[in-house]
């Protein structure tokens, strides 16, 4: 699918502005995520809920999308819901084909160990959201959690959340559960695992009196959704209890 669909379409779309590229490539990424989860990972997407307003369900999406991070499988799962370009490790650009796909899809590469690279990406992220009005996907935890639990608010990176508050940019929290179980410690697929995702309703800065309250409210939605998914995702009960 990458060779015969995503790669040639990305080449065709590459000369266009990012907004148009995402309109062209976005549906293919969504299809790719579904196929990868179902046939390659053999995962059961038991819960897939999108609480965003209709105006936020467009392609490309708008706003700052924040999610907890459990596994590499988080990415295809999120692709089934929205195609907001992520901030990613710079090394991905050097992977044949994937590097082009990442660039064409608007990913912002960063070298975590390089302060100037982090500063550059932060400025690019600011422009992307405030001027281009194109959504951005970030993991405030920084790296994948070592267990299945999201980090508490005191341990996440809030720089972009604070910027969103200052620039009146809405935040869309996303909760993920179960993806950690799809890959074993050696990186091999474990078929038959249940996964779930909840895209919460957008949160507006205007409804809060401080950046900290705004950031806390966004992350609390992520944590609450994670707990809801954890409570409902079990092999003996395949039905989500809202």
- What percent of the chain lies above the pLDDT cut of 70? 93
Question: Quick one: which of 128, 130, 120 has its CA closest to 165?
Answer: 130
pLDDT over threshold 90, residue 95:
no
Phi, psi of 40 (to 5 degrees): -85, -45
| 238 domain-assigned | no
Question: Quick one: which of 128, 168, 151, 159 has its CA closest to 220?
Answer: 151
* Residues 186-219: tens digit of each pLDDT: 888 999 999 999 999 999 999 999 999 999 999 9
Number of structural domains (the chain) is 1
pLDDT (mean) for 229-242: 63
Count of residues for the chain?
242
CATH number at residue 179: 3.40.1130.10
| 165 domain-assigned | yes
| 153 domain-assigned | yes
Question: Quick one: which of 99, 111, 102, 70 has its CA closest to 83?
Answer: 102
pLDDT (mean) for 137-145: 83
Query: What does the DSSP 8-state code read for residue 110?
Result: E
pLDDT (mean) for 42-49: 95
| pLDDT, position 237 | 43
| 228 domain-assigned | yes
User: How far apart, in whole angstroms, are the C-alpha atoms of residue 102 and residue 10?
Assistant: 9
Residue 31 confidence class, pLDDT cut points 50, 70, 90: very high
| pLDDT, position 65 | 98
| 15 domain-assigned | yes
Instruction: Determine the structural domain holding residue 127 and report its residue range.
Output: 2-232
| pLDDT, position 161 | 97
| pLDDT, position 228 | 95
**Which residues, in sequence order, are CB contacts of 217 under 8 Å at separation 6+?**
203, 208
pLDDT (mean) for 71-83: 93
| pLDDT, position 193 | 94
* Residues 120-132: tens digit of each pLDDT: 998 999 999 999 9
The pLDDT mean for the chain works out to 89
| pLDDT, position 242 | 44
Q: Higher pLDDT residue, 87 or 206?
A: 206
| 237 domain-assigned | no
| pLDDT, position 144 | 65
| pLDDT, position 195 | 96
What is this structure's pTM?
0.90
Residue 100 confidence class, pLDDT cut points 50, 70, 90: confident
pLDDT over threshold 80, residue 185:
no
Q: Higher pLDDT residue, 235 or 6?
A: 6
pLDDT (mean) for 55-76: 93
| 84 domain-assigned | yes
Query: What does the DSSP 8-state code read for residue 80?
Result: T
């Amino acid at each position: 699918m990458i060779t015969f669909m995503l790669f040639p379409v990305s080449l065709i779309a590459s000369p266009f502005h990012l907004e148009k590229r995402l309109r062209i490539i976005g549906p293919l990424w969504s299809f790719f995520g579904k196929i990868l989860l179902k046939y390659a990972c053999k995962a059961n997407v038991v819960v897939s809920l999108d609480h965003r307003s209709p105006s936020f369900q467009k392609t490309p999406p708008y706003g700052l999308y924040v999610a907890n991070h459990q596994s590499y499988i988080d990415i295809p799962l999120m692709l089934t819901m929205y195609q907001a370009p992520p901030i990613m490790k710079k090394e991905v650009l050097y992977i044949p084909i994937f590097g082009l796909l990442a660039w064409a899809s608007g990913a912002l590469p960063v070298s975590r160990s390089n302060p100037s690279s982090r500063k550059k990406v932060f400025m690019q992220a600011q422009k992307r959201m405030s001027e281009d009005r194109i959504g951005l996907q970030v993991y405030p935890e920084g790296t994948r959690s070592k267990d299945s639990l999201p980090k508490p608010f005191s341990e996440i990176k809030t720089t972009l959340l604070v910027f969103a508050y200052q620039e009146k940019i809405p935040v869309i929290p996303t909760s993920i559960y179960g993806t950690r179980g799809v890959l074993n410690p050696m990186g091999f697929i474990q078929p038959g695992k249940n996964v779930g995702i909840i895209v919460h309703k957008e949160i507006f800065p205007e409804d809060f009196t401080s950046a900290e309250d705004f950031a806390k409210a966004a992350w609390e939605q992520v944590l609450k959704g994670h707990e809801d998914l954890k409570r409902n995702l079990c092999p003996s009960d395949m039905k989500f209890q809202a």
